[in-house]
């Protein structure tokens, strides 16, 4: 079964992962800049953790998945450089400690090293598809956040997510629910 069917099989988990109050506040401009900055620093940590996970997955994934995983690793390296320039512009300390939701998500990524490559690919597709749909729902974004919403909804990102769907393993319910729960907690982190 194609992984996209997981979205309709688990509508509540999907809605909670992609329709967070944080995103509503980015769209209507009510999100305090401090909360956004807190979230940005944590997302930079997450992207660094994701790069390590994805590099390990690239090393063991079947050959048809190599190109999309390698391109994704390069994109993550570029994303980290982008985070550095954003942090410099906003005066953020990217070395601030990880918050509990970030630590828990990193632990999930580490556990996925023990899963077969197909399941880990399904998890990676879920991570990216959640992010794409969540930010797409925040379009166009309030003026202060528009550049960020646009950054995370570029057409190339949707193409990447489609590429991951093409190489993902089975539509694994358990890993889908674990990832969507981690995403939900991550959105909630900066508002709690
Ligand atoms: C992504 C992210 C997508 N940056 N943060 C969270 C919490 N989930 C998913 O990562 P990217 O940068 O699109 O690979």
The 3-state DSSP class for residue 63 equals helix
CA distances from residue 130 to 32, 126, 146, 175, 186 in whole angstroms, order as listed: 23, 6, 19, 13, 12
Q: Could you tell me the residue range of the domain that residue 162 belongs to?
A: 3-189
Domains identified in the chain, total number: 1
Beta carbon of 37 within 6 Å of any ligand 1 atom:
no
What's the CATH code of the domain at 133?
A: 1.20.910.10
Instruction: Return the residue whose CA atom lies nearest to atom 13 of ligand 1.
Output: 128
Nearest CA to ligand 1 atom 1: 131
Predicted TM-score (pTM) of this structure: 0.96
Q: Alpha-carbon distance 150 to 173, whole Å?
A: 30
pLDDT, one tens digit per residue, over 110-124 is 999 999 999 999 999
Residue 1's pLDDT is what? 78
Task: Report whether 184 contacts 166 (CB < 8 A).
Answer: no
**Shortest-distance Cα residue to atom 5 of ligand 1:** 43
Q: Counting Cβ atoms within 10 Å, is residue 64 exposed (0-12), middle (13-18) or buried (19+)?
A: exposed
pLDDT tens by residue, 137-158: 999 999 999 999 999 999 999 9
CB-ligand 1 contact for 79 (6 Å cutoff): yes
- Residue 191 has a pLDDT of 84
DSSP state of 10: S
Mutate to test the pocket of ligand 1, among 50, 79, 183 (most ligand atoms within 8 A of CB): 50
> Distance between CA atoms of 109 and 72, rounded to whole angstroms?
16
């Amino acid at each position: 079964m194609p992984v996209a069917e997981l979205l309709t099989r688990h509508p509540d988990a999907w809605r909670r992962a992609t329709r967070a109050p944080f995103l509503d506040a980015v769209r209507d401009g009510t999100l305090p800049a401090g909360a956004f900055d807190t979230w940005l620093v944590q997302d930079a940590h997450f992207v660094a953790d994701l790069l390590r996970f994805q590099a390990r997955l690239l090393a063991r994934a079947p050959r048809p998945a190599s190109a999309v995983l390698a391109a994704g690793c390069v994109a993550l390296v570029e994303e980290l450089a982008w985070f550095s320039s954003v942090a410099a512009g906003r005066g953020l300390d990217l070395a601030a400690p990880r918050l509990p939701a970030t630590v828990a998500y990193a632990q999930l990524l580490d556990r996925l090293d023990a899963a077969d490559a197909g399941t880990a690919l399904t998890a990676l597709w879920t991570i990216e598809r959640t992010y794409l749909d969540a930010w797409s729902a925040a379009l166009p974004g309030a003026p202060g956040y528009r550049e960020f919403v646009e950054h995370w909804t570029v057409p190339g990102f949707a193409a990447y997510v489609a590429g991951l769907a093409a190489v993902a393993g089975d539509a694994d319910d358990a890993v889908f629910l674990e990832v969507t729960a981690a995403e939900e907690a991550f959105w909630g982190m900066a508002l709690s």
